[in-house]
Structure 1
């Protein structure tokens, strides 16, 4: 398909009750259209990705 483009959106869902019960930590950070995954074992080895749209639906537990 010539001239076609794809837009990508990512969304972080809120923790479910099981994750909250296990005191899980969120390893995702969002700033604008940049989503960063934090490696809890190696905090300096974060991975960042840019998307067309990034949504965080609720405050994330830390």
Structure 2
């Protein structure tokens, strides 16, 4: 299985839908809520989606 290392910086503060990155998007440790588009969910899931996107773009 291929492995690509990506920079995890700000992945839990960046919205995977609109790309808005702000510390206020993550007011609590467990919850993410985008201040621009309103996307909300578990912070770990949001960070995982962002890491997957970074990995897919780095692979190309």
TM-score after normalising by structure 2? 0.22
Q: Which has the higher strand share?
A: 1
Which of these two proteins has the greater Rg computed from alpha carbons? 1
Taking CA–CA contacts closer than 8 Å with sequence separation of 6 or more, which of the two structures ends up with the larger relative contact order?
1
